[in-house]
Every structure is written in structure tokens, then in C-alpha cells.
Structure 1
Amino acid sequence: MTSEWQPPTGSWASSAANRRNMQAIRSRDTKPEQLVRRLVHAQGLRYRVCAKPLPNLRRTADMVFRPAKVAVFIDGCYWHGCPEHYVSPKTNLGYWSDKVARNIARDRDTDERLTEAGWTVLRFWEHESPDACALKITATVSKLRPKRS
């Protein structure tokens, strides 16, 4: 038996440290999401977190406002290919570049499906100002929320 680290069969990790690092990355409740949620909540709006806007769509939005039909996504610069901040990886370039390209394609498909179903999709990059994001979300939801009689 060799003492050198071997990735599990089919693993994307190029080293044990890389694997640990990638496994620690959160898919929900990231700092940018939490900041925006806190600001929106302070404005009196209530929402679902990490919820499916459509029951038959196997994708979740970071914030879902069901009555107003607004789905909010706060995309990570690396994982969603931010035109300003995305940097190609130095190792396993083919795998990661393909993964980000698939993520981008899935994002566009999600936007299209939600729009066809009558939803408003708001997408923000993680580097955008939480205050500006919260203002846009609040204004959009307030405009689209059904009026109470």
C-alpha cells in the first residue's frame, strides 16, 4: 500500500487538500445570501429560503416570494462564471471549465422556465452590494405582490 494520497475513483479532486477545500464550500446560506436576506427581512418581506419555485423543477432559488412569483438567485462568481471575476482553475482545467459552463447553461434554462411560468427572476453576483440587491428585491416584490382587498 502506498502512503501517497489517492483520490477516490471518479473523484474530481487533484489533492486531499483540494478535496477538503471543495467539500467545505457551501451551496446555501453563504455570506452574500445572508446579508441580502437580513436586509430584505428588515424591510418586512417574508420569503422561503432555498426553495423550489416550481414543484416540477429540480432547482432551488436562494429566496422565493411565492405570492409575488419572484425567484432570487445570488450567484457565486466562480461557480456561475462571473464575467468580471471568474478565473480559470490551474488544475483539472477541463473538468472545472465544463462544470462552470454547465452551471451557466442551467442558469439560463432555469431563467427561461421560470419566466415561461410567469415568474420574475432576479439574479445578482456575490460581489454586488447587498444594499443595492435588497433595494431591487424589495421594489420588485412590492410591485408584483398581490394587493390585499
Structure 2
Amino acid sequence: MDATEPVRRRMSRQKSRDTAVEMALRRALHALGLRYRVHRRPVAGVRREADVVFPGARVAVFVDGCFWHGCPEHATWPKNNAEFWRAKIEGNRARDRDTDARFAEAGWRVVRVWEHEDPAEAAARVLAVVR
């Protein structure tokens, strides 16, 4: 069963790029002196777009929403249309694992940042991988 039409309309209006969380992380990375590209597909033949990319260091950063990616701390499972949403979120998790594996095979390191993480702490984690 698909999502109901009102839910589909509401969810389609959710920003998928340049979200407040992503912008806060980018500001924190910039403050650390890091320069990067945004919303790029770093691996040829893999249709997955990283939120922040460090081409020289071959590091791709993904900012994952707690709801959409099933955060172990904050995931919520909707009661309405539960089967549809469980399949959708589990599918996102499977795609994330596949993305991580494909990027690793291509020589890239992936950093995943949850939306609930402190931007400064997440930026420090990214800095450690980039350096």
C-alpha cells in the first residue's frame, strides 16, 4: 500500500538538500578551514549523491535524517500505513549500506552524520577522516 495523498504531498515538500542540518555542518567544516564540493556524485557509475565531497581526500559525507534513515536513537515507526513506511525506511537503510560498500570499493571513505548530531562534533569527525 502506498502513502495516502495528503501524506505524499506533505513528504514531497520536505527539503532533500541544503537543509538546516546540512548547512550547519557545512558552516562548521568551513570554520575548520576545510573546502569541499556539495551535492556531487563522486563515484562514476554510481547514482548516489553525497551531501559534502572532499575530492582530493576521497571522502564523501552524507547527512542522514533520523526518520528517513531509521536512526537507532530516534527512529519512529508510523502507525498509519505501517507496512509501507517500514519497507520505505528499511529500503533506505539497505541503500545506505550498498552506497557505503560501493564507495569503499571505489576507494572512497564515507562519513555518515545523523541530523541530531552536534555540527561542531560531526565536523571534527569529518576533519579527522579528511586529514
**Could you say which TM-score interval applies, normalised by the shorter chain?**
over 0.9
Q: Which residue of structure 2 aligns with residue 14 of structure 1?
A: 4
Give the drift of 1:139: 2.3
Task: Give the distance between the partners of 1:19 and 1:57, measured in 2 at CA.
Answer: 27
Q: Does 1:97 align with 2:111?
A: no
| Other-structure match for 2:56 | 67
Q: Give % identity.
A: 53
Aligned to 1:62, what secondary structure does the other structure show? Answer: strand
Are the equivalent residues in 2 in contact too, given 1:62–1:72 (CA < 8 A)?
yes
Per the TM alignment, residue 44 of structure 1 is displaced from its structure 2 partner at its CA by: 2.0
Q: Name the structure, 1 or 2, with higher relative contact order (CA <8 Å, separation 6+).
A: 2
1:40 is displaced (CA, Å) by 0.5
TM, length-normalised to structure 2 = 0.93
Q: TM-score w.r.t. structure 1 length?
A: 0.82
Match for residue 128 of structure 2?
139
Where in structure 2 are the equivalents of 1:100-111 lying within 5 Å? Answer: 100-111=89-100
Q: 2:32 aligns with which of 31, 34, 43?
A: 43
Say which SS state the counterpart of residue 71 (structure 1) adopts.
strand
Are the aligned partners of 1:14 and 1:91 in contact in 2 as well (CA < 8 Å)? no
Name the CA distance, whole Å, in 1 between partners of 2:17 and 2:95. 17
Larger radius of gyration: 1
Q: Which amino acid in 2 is paired with 1:96? A: W
Aligned to 1:87: 76
Residue 15 of structure 1 deviates from its aligned partner by 4.6
Count matched residues.
Answer: 131
State the partner residue of 1:54: 43
2:116 is aligned with 1:116: no
Structure 1 gaps, min length 5: 1-9, 144-149
